Structure 1
Amino acid sequence: MSNKAPLPQNIVVHQQSKVLELVYGADIYKLPFEFLRVWSPSAEVRGHSVGQETLQTGKRDVLINNIEQVGHYAIKPVFSDGHDSGIYSWEYLYEMCQNYEAMWQDYLGRLEKEGVDRDAPMTKDAGHSCGH
């Protein structure tokens, strides 16, 4: 059996501070909505293979309008920018909690490498067509 991530005992959406709070026993993690949005596990963000990722920008003020449970293994946040195709498994969420600092620094590093401002609006041609 694989190392299964623990299930959060509680998930709280904090609209004012724009964080998703995940409670695992005595451990409480707060993941900013922007972080969740730019690290979405969706094909729109990740691409269909390595090298097809679309760097997300302009997400500092994104909100989570709703969270849908997906079976017994994941949640699907509905973001205020219309993005709703990211399915966050319990394993991925726990990984995000454990590796928040490194993942955030990686994101900031990619922005710098690309010479893109974090608050720049996404351009229409920044993504790629999935043939839909």
Structure 2
Amino acid sequence: MSAPVPTRVHYHRKARELEIGYADGNSHRLPVEYLRVYSPSAEVRGHGGESATLQVGKKHVGLLDISQAGRYALKLHFDDGHDSGLYSWEYLYALIRDYDANWADYLQRLEDAGASREALGIEIKQL
């Protein structure tokens, strides 16, 4: 079964959440940090196997822009400069479906690595 195609996408800037709505009336809000650390890009996920790079210090990341890639995906432009992943409808739906397990796994991997969601040093953003 293929994933449903969103009918509405809205970025809640203050909450740093992306809301994805569907024709059946269901709507889901995903934290931008979650979308960033689970980016489908090769930079984050690696090139297969265990080569994924743990993303740290992304707690306060936001979005600068959202664009549609054809009829199958969104391209998210994060304010930390990352913009190389295409979030297919299937991938977004899987992120929604598996949010609790994915987020718990991410927090465990951070703890195991002695890393933090907080950025190191001074946060610099260009607006």
Structure 1 length-normalised TM:
0.86
How many angstroms apart in 2 are the aligned matches of 1:64 and 1:42?
16
Instruction: Report the Cα offset of residue 118 of structure 1.
Output: 1.9
User: Where in structure 2 are there 5+ consecutive unaligned residues?
Assistant: 121-127
Residues 6 and 20 of structure 2 are in contact (CA less than 8 Å); yes or no, is this contact kept in structure 1? Answer: yes
Q: Which residue of 2 aligns with 1:98?
A: 97
Deviations 1:3-59 (Å, cap 9, x if unpaired)?
A: 110011111011010000011222211000000000000011011121111100111
Unaligned runs of 5+ in 1: 122-132
Q: What is the aligned partner in structure 2 of residue 14 from structure 1?
A: 12
Q: 1:107 is paired with a residue of what secondary structure?
A: helix
Equivalent residues in 2 for 1:30-109, closer than 5 Å: 30-109=29-108
Shift of 1:120: 4.4
The structure 1 segments of at least 4 consecutive aligned residues displaced by more than 2 Å after TM superposition are none
Native 8 Å contact 2:73 2:88 kept in 1: yes
Structural RMSD (CA): 1.3
**Mean CA deviation greater in 44-53 or 74-83:** 44-53
Offset, 1:91: 0.3
Number of equivalenced pairs: 120
Distance 1:117 1:61 in 2: 12
